[in-house]
Chain A
Amino acid sequence: MSRKLMDIWVGFFVVIGFSALLFLALRVGNAASANLGETYTLKAKFDNIGGLKVRGPVKSAGVVVGRIAAISLDPDAYEAVVTMRVNARYHFPRDTYASILTSGLLGEQYVGLDVGGDERMLKAGESFSRTQSAVVLEKLIGQFMLNKASEGAPNNK
């Protein structure tokens, strides 16, 4: 086999190998959509973040508007501090409610933003003042059992 022909076949092999990688990156992965464009940072403090993860989505009215950049624990208040990068196109009023919600019954957890009516908007680096923590199933069951017990107590007398 001539060297020229071999070069052509190997070149063909390399080209389809790289186009497979490109297909994986753009069509299978999220290399294209992970880029939110210009962003700014917002923070929120929660008593409990449940199973929230870094890079999880931030949604408003179900639309992804940002990603979670970092999660840390405030050493003084023992609260979780969630830092989010939000697309610079979107601005949220100061009284926006940030809550940790779950998509579906067993889906991933995300930060949902319920927009308030304040005229003034949150600026970069500011925090949501009103937050709601993740629902922890064990606590919910514990509360339910407690309610049942206190309901049942008067009947026993």
Chain B
Amino acid sequence: MPEPSSKGALGVIASLGHAVNEIAQRLGFVARFFAAILLYSGQSFRRIHLTIREMYFSGFQSLLIMLVSSLFIGMVLGLQGFETLQRFGSAEALGIMVALSLTRELGPVVAALLFASRAGSSITAEIGLMKATEQLMAMDMMAVNPIARVVAPKFWGGVLSMPLLASLFSAVGVFGGYLVGVVVIGVDEGAFWSQMQSSVDFRLDIWNGIIKSFVFGIAVSLIAVFEGYDSIPTAEGVSASIRRTVVNSALTILALDFVLTSFMFRGL
């Protein structure tokens, strides 16, 4: 069979097919990589200090950016919500608005986006550099499985940190809304909390938000460790894989959020 020319309509179709093949192959690789992580994750729980170490780097060290940004997001929600609700004469519903938007959407989503750029990128950089400096290969030579020793603890550290960070994000955001709404603007404090409590449901709103953040944690951590492990072991290769981590994580979080929301809150 003659080689098809790279020009004309056939060339376009060929490059399209090539791209689809590439994507399918990559997805298959991700799935096998995920299966390998799950298979070798026994060690990251038996030697729990490996996972605790990763929780320190990806969870604890993200605390500051999470707390500051959630406080500001809560305060902005307080200002904007008051501005809008006041037009309809229902400024007391500010508490509901702030709490529902944080627990359902903004808490899990923004926390996951920040987590992807703060912790995900550094996970990718670390694994990518370990690959570039042939540390992963050296581990393999010493009969230490790099997936069990390096990748799985980083993955589980991220997965376990994410729901904690998201609930902190929502809680501090509600406090920020309280600061602006009640302390600065002067919405009635009793109405703010009681209306919030009467319409925020623990299982429906808060727990679904936690489930969301757990799913985002899996997605972001998987993308971060995969891109690091898959990176081309050069300086440009590592930088490209960090960029892919941030971009792919953001897109995956937003797409997953739409899917999860449509399943969770459709019956309302």
Contacts and interface: CB of A to CB of B under 8 A. Distances in A.
Interface string A1-26: 00100110110111011101101110
Interface string A114-131: 000000000000000000
Given A10-B59, A21-B210, A34-B202, A28 B52 contact: no
Given A9-B56, A29-B206, A16 B103 contact: no
B168 A16 contact: yes
Interface string B67-101: 00000000000000000000000000000000100
**Interface residues of B: mostly helix, strand, loop or mixed?**
helix
Nearest to A6: B56
Contacts of B193: 27
A18 B168 CA distance: 8
Contacts of B172: 20
B196 A28 contact: yes
Interface residues of A, number: 25
A30 B198 contact: yes
A20 B168 contact: yes
A14 B196 CA distance: 26
A24 B60 contact: no
A31 interface: yes
B55 A13 contact: yes
B26 interface: no
Nearest to A14: B164
B197 interface: yes
Interface residues of B, number: 30
A19 to B, nearest CB: 8
Contacts of A27: 193, 197
Contacts of B198: 30, 33, 57
Contact of B170 (A6, A9, A13, A20): A20
A24 B55 contact: no
Most buried by B among A18, A29, A31, A33: A29
Contacts, number: 81
A55 interface: yes
Given A14-B164, A20-B168, A28 B174 contact: yes
Nearest to A33: B197
Interface in A43-75: 55, 57
B63 to A, nearest CB: 7
B60 A30 contact: no
B56 A25 contact: no
Contacts of A55: 201
Interface string B163-191: 11101101110100000000000000000
Contacts of B218: none
A10 B201 contact: no
A103 to B, nearest CB: 10
Contacts of A33: 197-198
Nearest to A9: B60
Contacts of A7: 49, 52
Interface string A95-116: 0000000000000000000000
B45 to A, nearest CB: 15
Considering the complex of A and B, which 9 residue pairs feature the smallest CB-CB distances, nearest first? A17-B164, A20-B171, A31-B202, A29-B202, A21-B167, A20-B168, A13-B60, A20-B167, A29-B200
Interface of B: 49, 52-53, 55-56, 59-60, 63, 99, 103, 161, 163-165, 167-168, 170-172, 174, 193, 196-198, 200-202, 205-206, 210
Interface of A: 3, 6-7, 9-10, 12-14, 16-18, 20-21, 23-25, 27-31, 33-34, 55, 57
